[in-house]
Amino acid sequence: MDIELVNVTKVYHLGKQEVKALRSISSTIRAGNFMSIMGPSGSGKTTLLNMIGALDRPTSGYVRVGGKDISEFSDRSRSKLRLSSFGFIFQGFYLLQNLTAMENVMVPMREAGLSRWDAMKRGKELLSDVGLRNRFGHLPSQLSGGEQQRVSIARSMANDPAVILADEPTGELDSETSQNIINIMRGLNRNGGKTIIVVTHDNEIAKRASIRLRLKDGRISN
Ligand SMILES: Nc1ncnc2c1ncn2[C@@H]1O[C@H](COP(=O)(O)OP(=O)(O)OP(=O)(O)O)[C@@H](O)[C@H]1O
Ligand SMILES: [Mg+2]
């Protein structure tokens, strides 16, 4: 499933103020690519991920996923697409605080219609894959930052998406834990064939990427 960005522009309106967050971004990300997005704070990185992941619509231009223009999809079709094709790892984790590690990982599977039993079975595998075999029943507040991030990686994999979108997945972690997270993501790319699109300030991650996109003031600057 290739992803094509064609002249993607995003303008936010705040009262009378206009913020041009993205200015005519064009790029092609082929299935199985590992793309890094770098750039200063406020340069449009998260906005771009939101466009690719069908969380928001461009002001002009379009995003094609598997040859289809997703800007034209209904809200319902977009949420279906998100659930089936994209795994999200957000800036700052976004785990549900009152749910255990296992329950967090089960959420997208239950939303996709999997039985409780099957969701739990797969949840066990996913959490074990990221080294959290002994943490199924822990709440996020009872986990370290790196462990929470690994839960969020396991959750992003729940419905076996073709594309993983990660927004600074190692932002708040020490270098050893970051290395561990990078290795998990590299494995998903190399062995699992996943397309990975990762926003990062970390050169170690960017070095692994097959495509490096640099944003500055809403434009591609490389
Ligand atoms: N909902 C919104 N309404 C208005 N302006 C917004 C909104 N979201 C983002 N912006 C503005 O758009 C620009 C790009 O924001 P974005 O979140 O994409 O930056 P970023 O590159 O992810 O930054 P960071 O590295 O700090 O996360 C910023 O100037 C921001 O203030
Ligand atoms: Mg951001």
Q: Which domain does 102 fall in, by range? A: 3-220
Q: Count the Cβ atoms, other than its own, within 10 Å of residue 15.
A: 5
Which residue's CA is the nearest one to ligand 1's atom 27?
41
CATH number for 7: 3.40.50.300
Ligand 1 site, residue 21, Cβ cutoff 6 A:
yes
What pLDDT is stored for residue 159 in this prediction? 92
Which residue's structure tokens are 């709440």?
139
What pLDDT is stored for residue 117 in this prediction? 98
Shortest-distance atom of ligand 1 to CA 91: 27
Shortest-distance atom of ligand 1 to CA 10: 12
Q: How many domains is the chain built from? A: 1
Tens digit of each residue's pLDDT (9 = 90 or more) over 165-183: 999 988 877 888 888 888 8
Q: What angle in degrees, to the nearest 10, is found between the helix axes of 101-111 and 145-156?
A: 20
Q: Which ligand is nearest to the CA of 42?
A: 1
Three-state DSSP string of 88-105 = EECCCCCCCCCCCHHHHH
Ligand 1 site, residue 45, Cβ cutoff 6 A:
yes
pTM of the predicted structure, to 2 decimals: 0.92
Alpha carbon of 2 to those of 42, 114, 122: distances in Å? 27, 27, 27
The residues of the chain scoring below 70 in pLDDT are 92-93
